[in-house]
Amino acid sequence: MPKINKVKKKVTKTKRKVVSKTKPKTILKTKEVSKAPIKISKTYIPKETEKYMCEKHKIYFRIKLQEWKKDLVKSNNEALYNGSMDDNSISADIVDQASSYTDKNVEMKAINRQIKLISEIDKALARIREDTYGYCLDTAEPIGLKRLMARPVAKYTIAAQEKHEKDEKVHADD
């Protein structure tokens, strides 16, 4: 008989541990369930009447940035593939060689600009995750929906952007 009692006590202790471990999990699940994902239609356009940078706005810009990035990566890959296939530098005519070299140089500059743009898109996506997207990095003021629609990677308000460009010009002249 004493052995049975010890076994019962152990089972009871184990049950208590399991019960105490499952309660926090249940609480976490209810928190996750209460925040249902927001869906937007493909034709959705952010409106000025909505709260600035609400969840719908963030989802819209995240999708827009991800699609833009996907298109840039695809076009870069195609340009690099096609550029490597079209090699006229072996041509005997020196004018053809120069023309081919110039074309490749222009293509590579375009690809480099697109790579920088992809980096800016990644930074914008990170700002969306951090809830700082849509606000000026200098002044923390709203950038504005119209500006973000025109330039989704915008980091500054128009006034702050003009100030940055003026500062760059002043330093470039020195």
pLDDT at 28: 35
pLDDT at 19: 42
pLDDT at 87: 58
Q: Does the residue 56 lie in any domain?
A: yes
pTM over 0.85: no
Print the domain residue range for 101: 52-135
- Give Dmax over CA atoms of the chain in angstroms: 104
pLDDT at 101: 87
- In this prediction, the residues of the chain whose per-residue pLDDT falls under 50 are 1-34
Q: Does the residue 98 lie in any domain?
A: yes
pLDDT at 69: 97
Q: Does the residue 94 lie in any domain?
A: yes
pLDDT at 35: 62
Number of structural domains (the chain) is 1
pLDDT at 80: 81
Work out the number of other CB atoms within 10 angstroms of the CB of residue 57.
21
Q: Does the residue 17 lie in any domain?
A: no
Provide the CA 73 distance to its chain's centre, in angstroms: 14
> At residue 96, what are phi and psi to the nearest 5 degrees?
-65, -40
Q: Does the residue 107 lie in any domain?
A: yes
Q: Does the residue 160 lie in any domain?
A: no
pLDDT at 173: 66
pLDDT at 145: 95
Q: Does the residue 120 lie in any domain?
A: yes
Work out the number of other CB atoms within 10 angstroms of the CB of residue 74.
10
| Terminal Cα distance for the chain, rounded | 95
Q: Does the residue 19 lie in any domain?
A: no
What is the CATH classification number for the domain harbouring 82?
Answer: 1.20.120.910
